[in-house]
Amino acid sequence: MDAAGSIGFCNAVTTRRSPRSPAGPRARLAGLALAALALVAACDGQSQTPPAAPPPPGVTVAAVTRSEINPVFEVVGQTEAVDEVDLRARVQGFLVSRAFNEGDDVREGDLLFAIEKAPYEAALAAADASVDQAQAAVLRTRKDLERARILFSRGNVSEKSLDDAVAAERDARAQLAAAEARQREARLNLGYTDVYAPVDGRIGRAAYSVGNLVGPDSDVLATLVKLDPIYAVFNVSERLYLSYRQEAAAMPAANGPQAAPVPRLRLANNQDYPHAGKIAFVDNRVDPMTGTIAVRAIFPNPDKLLVPGIFVTVRLSERQPEPALLIPQAAVQEDQAGRFVLVAKPDNTAEVRRIETGERTGISWQVTSGLSEGELVIYEGIQKVRPGAPISPVLKPAAG
């Protein structure tokens, strides 16, 4: 019987009146209720059809490609000042002026602090007087020595008198030298009352205010740092260091310096620093605890954007491209067992594939094992996929 016939039969059955039964009213009503329920259930089961199976989920796939890449290695570094100077008082006295605003950029030779000069001007005047006095003593003893030599040649004085004149002249010259040394010291001390900027740079917070007593035992008056250029200090692995050194040694002498990696910076806000740097220093030994070697790169900093102490990502690229298998980074997943991808098989089902990865290159990830060129990996719609279940793949290279 077809569905229409079944439905008509059920309708007919449910609407037909039952003959009067010799049983009592209650028995008749109970029997009619049971019969109606059975017929309704049977008819409902015959009228409902099974739901259709949902279509397989749509996913976006990309082919595993082979490409010549120049791997970029990223390491964390920190900026350092090329010159950092702690300004100190070299003589004792009261600060009488501060000729800068904290945080200013200053030029080499600019006056920064002034210490009271009066005591040192007086000391210099006394030293000048001592020099004059010593010069007079030298002049007097020199003339005495000349007369003593003439008289000794005539036999008018003893040899002891001549020796005394020689000793007096030498002592006067020694006293003059000592006085001149004290004079130079006094002049230096007077010059130390003015503190000048030894280099171009940016000055920090002043530790003392005008009127404070400062001296050689005081703390640093302020710190001056040179910002342009600026260093970035970081560590690289032994492997990377050796690969660059061997590559440089294999190149002709004229091209040797070009084999050095070109460092670039990425800042903490994920912005790329616009100026490329160059390697300025490589340490002479590898740290046995970490297996890395310290490197310092120097970068132009004309806008004074970078200051010492900033953490940066230093990006180094190899000079010789190498072939590699690449897949979109969005396709790579990770669990406790390691990294894996979902591969779209030719029969339009998904398969879990364990992989080994190398370096990241742009939006791609280098694959060292687990995949072959041309295979399709799922990178969009992964959350809708179950391993072994059907899928509806759409081939589309990852953007960028």
- The 10s digit of each residue's pLDDT in 23-59 is 455 556 555 555 555 555 555 545 556 677 778 888 9
Compute the average pLDDT of residues 387-393: 89
Quick check: bond before 229 cis, omega within 30? yes
For the residues of 4-27, what is the DSSP string, one character each?
A: HHHHHHHHHHHHSPPPPPSS-HHH
pLDDT confidence band for 21 (50 / 70 / 90): very low
Of how many residues is the chain composed? 400
Compute the average pLDDT of residues 258-267: 78
Tell me, what's the pLDDT at 2?
46
| CATH 2.40.30.170 applies to domain 73-81+226-317 | yes
More confident residue, 365 or 399: 365
Is residue 4 over pLDDT 80?
no
Strand partners, 323: 68
Q: Which amino acid is at 47?
A: S
* Of the candidates 208, 197, 204, the residue with the CA atom closest to the CA atom of residue 307: 204
Q: How far apart (Å, rounded) are the C-alpha atoms in residues 82 and 306?
A: 12
- The 10s digit of each residue's pLDDT in 193-233 is 999 999 999 999 999 999 999 999 999 999 999 999 999 99
Q: Quote the mean pLDDT of the chain.
A: 83
Tell me, what's the pLDDT at 377?
93
High-pLDDT (> 70) share of the chain, %: 82
CA angle 12, 16, 22 (to 5 degrees): 150
Tell me, what's the pLDDT at 289?
87
Name the one residue in this structure whose structure tokens are 């990852």: 398
CATH class of segment(s) 85-224: mainly beta
Is residue 9 over pLDDT 60?
no
Tell me, what's the pLDDT at 173?
93
pLDDT confidence band for 254 (50 / 70 / 90): very low
More confident residue, 69 or 309: 309
Tell me, what's the pLDDT at 35?
57
What residues does each domain of the chain span?
Answer: 3-47, 59-70+322-395, 73-81+226-317, 85-224
* CA-based max dimension of the chain: 186
CA-to-CA separations, 96 to 116, 119, 212, in angstroms, rounded: 6, 13, 8
Contact yes or no for 7/46 (Cβ under 8 A) = yes
Q: How far apart (Å, rounded) are the C-alpha atoms in residues 117 and 192?
A: 9
Is residue 152 over pLDDT 90?
no
For the residues of 170-204, what is the DSSP string, one character each?
A: HHHHHHHHHHHHHHHHHHHHHHTTEEE-SSSEEE-
Query: Domain 59-70+322-395 falls in which CATH fold?
Result: 2.40.420
Q: How far apart (Å, rounded) are the C-alpha atoms in residues 182 and 245?
A: 56
Is residue 6 over pLDDT 70?
no
Tokens matching residue 121 = 């001007």
For the residues of 378-397, what is the DSSP string, one character each?
A: EEESGGG--TTSB-EEEE-P
Tell me, what's the pLDDT at 29?
53
The DSSP secondary-structure symbol of 34 reads H
Tell me, what's the pLDDT at 71?
67
Q: How far apart (Å, rounded) are the C-alpha atoms in residues 249 and 246?
A: 5
Compute the average pLDDT of residues 236-257: 66
Tell me, what's the pLDDT at 215?
93
Taking phi over 0 as left and psi of -120 to 50 as alpha, with beta for the rest, 106 belongs to beta
Q: How far apart (Å, rounded) are the C-alpha atoms in residues 93 and 299?
A: 40
Strands 392-395 and 58-63: parallel
SS3 37: helix
- The 10s digit of each residue's pLDDT in 121-145 is 999 999 999 999 999 999 999 999 8
Measured in whole angstroms, the distance separating CA 31 from the mean position of its chain's CA atoms is: 87
pLDDT confidence band for 162 (50 / 70 / 90): confident
**Dihedral sign (CA 248, 253, 258, 260):** positive
Is residue 18 over pLDDT 50?
no
Is residue 22 over pLDDT 70?
no
Compute the average pLDDT of residues 63-85: 87
Compute the average pLDDT of residues 267-275: 91
Compute the average pLDDT of residues 75-99: 94
Q: How far apart (Å, rounded) are the C-alpha atoms in residues 331 and 352?
A: 11
